[in-house]
């Protein structure tokens, strides 16, 4: 934080005043400051010129009154265009009617670069155009608000796990095998060693780390060559995953619920102004304070059938079914114990009904779909070997994973939370593509 008090005591106070974040102007009322940023708005009225400047921390209106600053500086105003970069010097005044609550009586204007015609106007562009200009679109108030909320979500996830004694372990992105089914693998040549695949999930490696450290988490990009062109699917998305030795399905369900509650409440507390920019009603999120409802797969299926859905036992739920199930609740719902046949090879069977997996999906309300997937893991070596065969997965590249069942295997469980899905719901976005700075989609790799 830069403040006037930190000015070097050179005895010479005639240099430029200290550079200040716009967000910190409240502490500088009456003082001369320097602001560095981009022009967001320009307006003239008689002998007065107004410009709104953005520096990433906030907005401030600068006022130039002819005769009250050097003519050369006053004239610089006429060169300015939207998104030009500049340095402004002026005295801070409290001005409740101004954006941010302060104004700058400008006495010096130093353009750094005069911007060409900015391609994005406040209104009237299609999504394709905006996505092609994503690198510039990020400057809009709405996109800034989403990025700040995403930052808060990521920080809250890390804090949550660290506060509970989980150790961060970074898992590899280049891997020799699939984790979540072979249909959505991104393949690449790995030097002279054959094929490598971009990680779909850090889970398998996290299981190894959990046998060393007990409770662990990872947080990184994951990749799925999803052929599905929906508002919930990215080909590159960020996942925070937890894995804990001796945790049961029940333990992991509770942990997942506590995580989502902690993150959403943190955003409500820290990012109210950004939610307002997004016109997101905080009441739609505040219900996370209460206990999350729980349904077994069987109960969820019965509800769908009552609503006229033609589904039979064993069918997996797609996006539409998830929306129908979650519509009954004002907060996320935990759906547990799906049929094993529609889930991954590593899930433990329910001892009370071996056709079911000890697994859970958390479905967000308002049609945002699955935000968390998790399960208890197969702990027994022979069971796991049988599963690999059932799923036609090769044993050799997974020998290391099998070792975890040979050397001190214990019951353990974990889950993964999709960051963009959670951010999408919190922000009330129509599509996850806005929940990440540079989305990667089926049909998009630019910019």
The sign of the dihedral angle between the CA atoms of 78, 79, 85, 91 is: negative
Determine the 3-state secondary structure of 184 from DSSP: helix
332 lies in the binding site for ligand 4AD (CB under 6 A): no
d(CA 31, CA 155): 34
Q: Of 140 and 184, which CB lies nearer to ligand 4AD in the complex structure? A: 184
Determine the 3-state secondary structure of 210 from DSSP: helix
d(CA 27, CA 77): 27
Q: How far is CA 398 from the centre of its chain?
A: 31
d(CA 336, CA 21): 48
Task: Find, among 239, 196, 194, the residue nearest to 186 by Cα.
Answer: 196
Cα torsion 111, 112, 117, 120 to 10°: value is: -110
Q: Of 34 and 296, which CB lies nearer to ligand 4AD in the complex structure? A: 296
CA of 365: how far to CAs of 125, 151, 418, in Å? 29, 22, 15
Both tokens of 147, joined, read: 């990025």
One-character DSSP codes across 159-201: HHHHHTTPEE-PPPSEESS-SS-GGG--EEE-TTS-EEEE-S-
416's contact among Mg ion, ligand 4AD, none, with CB below 5 to 8 A by partner kind, is: ligand 4AD
Contact 63, 48 (CB under 8 A): yes
**One of 20, 203, 326, 409 touching ligand 4AD (CB under 6 A):** 203
421's contact among ligand 4AD, Mg ion, none, with CB below 5 to 8 A by partner kind, is: ligand 4AD
421 lies in the binding site for ligand 4AD (CB under 6 A): yes
Query: Rounded to the nearest whole angstrom, what is the least distance from the CB of residue 295 to ligand 4AD in the complex?
Result: 16
Query: Rounded to the nearest whole angstrom, what is the least distance from the CB of residue 377 to ligand 4AD in the complex?
Result: 8
234's contact among ligand 4AD, Mg ion, none, with CB below 5 to 8 A by partner kind, is: ligand 4AD
Q: Of 62 and 418, which CB lies nearer to ligand 4AD in the complex structure? A: 418
Helices (H), ranges, 63-190: 71-76, 127-132, 134-137, 141-163
**One of 98, 414, 436, 439 touching ligand 4AD (CB under 6 A):** 414
241's contact among Mg ion, ligand 4AD, none, with CB below 5 to 8 A by partner kind, is: ligand 4AD
Q: What are the beta bridge partners of residue 61?
A: 52, 103
Query: Rounded to the nearest whole angstrom, what is the least distance from the CB of residue 361 to Mg ion in the complex?
Result: 6
> Residue 397 contacts by C-beta under 8 Å, 6 or more apart in sequence?
176, 177
Contact 242, 167 (CB under 8 A): no
**One of 62, 365, 369, 373 touching Mg ion (CB under 5 A):** 373
387's contact among ligand 4AD, Mg ion, none, with CB below 5 to 8 A by partner kind, is: none
**One of 418, 423, 426, 429 touching ligand 4AD (CB under 6 A):** 418
**One of 345, 368, 415, 425 touching ligand 4AD (CB under 6 A):** 415
Contact 62, 51 (CB under 8 A): yes
Task: Find, among 324, 332, 329, the residue nearest to 308 by Cα.
Answer: 324
Q: Of 29 and 342, which CB lies nearer to Mg ion in the complex structure? A: 342
φ/ψ of 44, rounded to 5, equals -120, 145
Q: Strand pairing of 215-223 and 195-198?
A: unpaired
Query: Rounded to the nearest whole angstrom, what is the least distance from the CB of residue 52 to ligand 4AD in the complex?
Result: 36
**One of 160, 161, 205, 237 touching ligand 4AD (CB under 6 A):** 237
233 lies in the binding site for ligand 4AD (CB under 6 A): yes
38's contact among ligand 4AD, Mg ion, none, with CB below 5 to 8 A by partner kind, is: none
256 lies in the binding site for ligand 4AD (CB under 6 A): no
Q: Of 102 and 415, which CB lies nearer to ligand 4AD in the complex structure? A: 415
Task: Find, among 160, 240, 166, the residue nearest to 423 by Cα.
Answer: 240
332 lies in the binding site for Mg ion (CB under 5 A): no
Helices (H), ranges, 237-352: 249-270, 272-277, 283-286, 297-306, 319-326
Q: Rule CB under 6 A: which of 350-379 touch ligand 4AD? A: 370-374
Q: Of 59 and 435, which CB lies nearer to ligand 4AD in the complex structure? A: 435
Q: Of 54 and 421, which CB lies nearer to ligand 4AD in the complex structure? A: 421
Q: Which residues of this chain interact with ligand 4AD, rule CB under 6 A?
A: 179-180, 201, 203, 224, 226, 233-234, 237, 239, 241, 370-374, 414-416, 418, 420-421, 432
Q: Which residues of this chain interact with Mg ion, rule CB under 5 A?
A: 373
């Amino acid at each position: 934080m830069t403040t006037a008090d930190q000015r070097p005591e050179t005895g010479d106070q005639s240099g430029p005043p200290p550079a200040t974040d716009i967000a910190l102007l409240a502490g500088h009322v009456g003082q001369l400051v320097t602001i560095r940023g981009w022009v967001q708005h320009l307006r003239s009225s008689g002998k007065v010129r107004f410009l709104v400047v953005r520096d990433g921390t906030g907005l401030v209106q600068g006022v130039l009154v002819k005769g009250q600053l050097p003519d050369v500086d006053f004239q610089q105003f006429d060169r300015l265009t939207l998104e030009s970069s500049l340095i402004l010097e002026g005295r801070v005044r409290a001005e409740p009617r101004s954006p941010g609550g302060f104004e700058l009586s400008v006495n010096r204007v130093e353009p750094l670069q005069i911007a060409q015609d900015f391609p994005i106007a406040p209104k009237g562009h299609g999504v394709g155009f905006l996505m092609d200009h994503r690198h510039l679109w990020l400057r809009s108030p709405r996109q800034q608000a989403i990025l700040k909320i995403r930052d808060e979500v990521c920080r809250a996830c890390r804090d949550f796990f660290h506060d509970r004694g989980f150790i961060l372990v970074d898992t590899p992105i280049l891997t020799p095998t699939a984790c979540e089914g072979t249909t959505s693998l991104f393949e690449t040549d790995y030097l002279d060693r054959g094929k490598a695949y971009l990680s779909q999930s850090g889970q398998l490696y996290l299981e190894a780390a959990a046998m060393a450290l007990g409770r662990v988490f990872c947080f990184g990009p994951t990749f799925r060559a999803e052929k599905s062109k929906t508002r919930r699917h990215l080909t590159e998305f960020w996942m925070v995953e937890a894995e804990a030795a001796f945790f049961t399905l029940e333990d992991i369900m509770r942990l997942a619920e506590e995580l989502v509650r902690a993150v959403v409440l943190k955003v409500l507390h820290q990012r109210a102004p950004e939610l307002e920019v997004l016109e997101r009603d905080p009441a739609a999120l505040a219900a996370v304070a209460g206990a999350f409802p729980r349904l077994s797969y069987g109960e969820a299926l019965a509800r769908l059938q009552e609503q006229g859905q033609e589904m039979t036992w064993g069918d997996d739920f797609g996006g539409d079914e998830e929306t129908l199930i979650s519509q009954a609740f004002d907060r996320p719902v935990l759906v547990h114990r799906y049929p094993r046949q529609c889930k991954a090879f590593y899930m433990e069977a329910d001892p009370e009904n071996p056709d079911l997996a000890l697994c859970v999906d958390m479905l967000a309300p308002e049609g945002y779909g699955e935000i968390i997937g998790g399960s208890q893991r197969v702990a027994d070596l022979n069971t796991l070997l049988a599963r690999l065969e059932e799923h036609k997965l090769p044993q050799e590249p997974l020998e290391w994973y099998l070792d975890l069942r040979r050397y001190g295997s214990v019951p353990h469980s974990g889950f993964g939370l999709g960051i963009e899905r959670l951010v999408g719901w919190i922000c009330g976005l129509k599509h996850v593509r806005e929940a990440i700075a540079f989305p990667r989609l089926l049909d998009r790799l630019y910019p």
